[in-house]
Amino acid sequence: MHKVSTMKYIADLLASGLGLSPPWSVTGIEPRAKRNGKLEVVVRLGHSQDALFKGSDGRRRKVHGTVKRTWAHLPPFGDRCVLYARVPRLREGSGVHMVSVPWARRGSGLTLALERHCLELLREGATIERVSRQMGIYPQRLWGLLHHWVPKLHGTRLLQGPATLAIVGIPLGDRDGHLTLIVDLQRGRVLQTLGGGPSGTANRAISLLEGEGRDRDAIAYVLTGPSARDIESCRQHFPRAKVAVNRHHVVELVQGALEDAQRMAHGDGRVDELPELFGGLWEMADAQAAAGCLAYCCDRARESGLAPLVALADTVRECWEAITGLWDVGIPHNTLEHLHREVASIVRSGRGYRDLHHLCLMVLLRLGGLALDEVAPR
């Protein structure tokens, strides 16, 4: 008696989680012990023989035939759960069509409940590999989830109401290039991701804004790389925006020059004080203090006579206004640090991304403020 009541409770729980309503019902639950010691739960779904189902035109029709289908589901207990059902086919006009089921989207071998659970794990920071091992789903199928759901949940209307927008270029390392984020500073969410630097993606960003009924003047700030050409390009594309060099681009530039100079100096002391001097730049309270510190650092770099440091000083001079202008940009420091930290974490957890589109999808899932309410049984 206790076993029967327990199974009925599990059946009711499954029916609720799958969004089942007449004529669909849970007809059987069978736990199976696998050879590897794991427990698989087999759930069978069925419908009454005389049930009528809606066709594509909304009319209810008798079942013409059925097709056996299988889905992986979030297990109520055990290690794995598999659903079996014979899905009705209806004759409509000159053809025969399979009906849609409420617990899964057409063509997917996963239930919507399992898809949502996987998306929640990925959004909270789990890697594709970890979710794959934990849920027993191939990594490529998980990427398929992102390709389907992220653009759909992201929606076509990105902007709602007034917004303070910024374009932020984030360096991904020498091999991986750059990622550009369009950020809503008021709501703290990433609106769009574009592969490449801000200057190279400016036209695409403008097209996205125009599609939202906004013009390029909606962009208040642009943070780009330490290139005079890129800075000038951003100023031409976004004439009313404050253009500055992203702090992390400067840090990456300085670190690269210092590493090259240390290899050339052979420990003769010409480079010893420079890491601390450049590091002190970020402790300056305003643009005037930062300019004084940066000028001293550049003088010391030139005095070293080492080619990488001289080149560094030349680059800084070319981008002087945009680098010191970083202190006048009204983007909260913690907002920028959060963006860089999260993107770096995503890149690191994915061991780099050979497919930049995959990286863009993961950034939108983590930082786009996407609601997963739509990923639910219909």
Model pLDDT for residues 96-141, shown as the tens digit of each residue: 888 999 999 988 999 999 999 999 999 999 999 999 999 989 999 9
Q: pLDDT class for 336, splitting at 50, 70, 90? A: confident
Identify residue 145 by its one-letter amino acid code. Answer: L
Q: How far is CA 106 from the centre of its chain?
A: 24
Which of helix, strand or coil describes residue 333?
A: helix
Per-residue pLDDT, 158: 61
88 within some domain: yes
Per-residue pLDDT, 351: 62
Mean pLDDT along residues 16-43: 89
Residue 110 DSSP label: B
Residue of higher predicted confidence among 352 and 335: 335
What's the mean per-residue pLDDT of the chain? 87
324 within some domain: yes
Q: Is the pLDDT of residue 79 over 70?
A: yes
372 within some domain: no
Structural domain harbouring 56 = 2-108
Q: pLDDT class for 174, splitting at 50, 70, 90? A: low
86 and 176 inside one domain: no
Residue 296 dihedral angles phi and psi, to the nearest 5° = -65, -40
Neighbours of 283 (CB within 10 A): 9
Final residue in a domain of this structure, among 92, 108, 124: 108
Q: Which residues contact 295 (CB under 8 A, 6 or more apart)?
A: none
Q: Which residues contact 338 (CB under 8 A, 6 or more apart)?
A: none
Q: Is the pLDDT of residue 35 over 80?
A: no
Identify residue 239 by its one-letter amino acid code. Answer: P
Burial 349-369, CB ≥16 within 10 A → b, else e = ebeebeebebbbbbbbbbbbe
Residue 53 dihedral angles phi and psi, to the nearest 5° = -125, 150
Residue 193 host element (H or E): strand 189-195
Please provide the size of the chain in residues.
378
Final residue in a domain of this structure, among 108, 129, 155: 108
Q: Is the pLDDT of residue 82 over 90?
A: yes
First to last CA, the chain: 34
120 within some domain: no
For 280, the token pair is 């002190």
Does residue 303 contact residue 328 with C-beta atoms inside 8 Å? no
378 within some domain: no
Q: Which of 23-27, 171-175, 259-263 comes out lowest in average pLDDT?
A: 171-175
Provide the number of structural domains found in the chain. 2
181 and 314 inside one domain: yes
214 and 348 inside one domain: yes
Which of helix, strand or coil describes residue 141?
A: helix
Q: pLDDT class for 1, splitting at 50, 70, 90? A: very low
Q: Is the pLDDT of residue 196 over 90?
A: no
Residue of higher predicted confidence among 95 and 177: 95
